[in-house]
């Protein structure tokens, strides 16, 4: 749990940038053998 980010922390860290995309939730990931399945993700696209 020490390596899991909280979305509120991310939003605080990116203050001052224009947020083009922000997603927090579960998604199916297919990223190779042993790294496939449902994962909890935070996606961010920013503009300076």
DSSP bridge pairs for 41: 25
Q: What is the pLDDT of residues 9-45, one digit of tens each?
A: 999 999 999 999 999 999 999 988 888 999 889 999 9
pTM: 0.72
- What pLDDT is recorded for position 28? 94
- What pLDDT is recorded for position 2? 81
CA distance 10 to 22: 10
CA distance 46 to 14: 8
């Amino acid at each position: 749990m020490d390596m899991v980010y909280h979305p509120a922390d991310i939003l605080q860290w990116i203050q001052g940038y224009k947020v083009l995309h922000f997603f927090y939730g579960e998604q199916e990931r297919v990223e190779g053998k042993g790294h496939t399945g449902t994962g909890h993700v935070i996606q961010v696209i920013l503009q300076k």
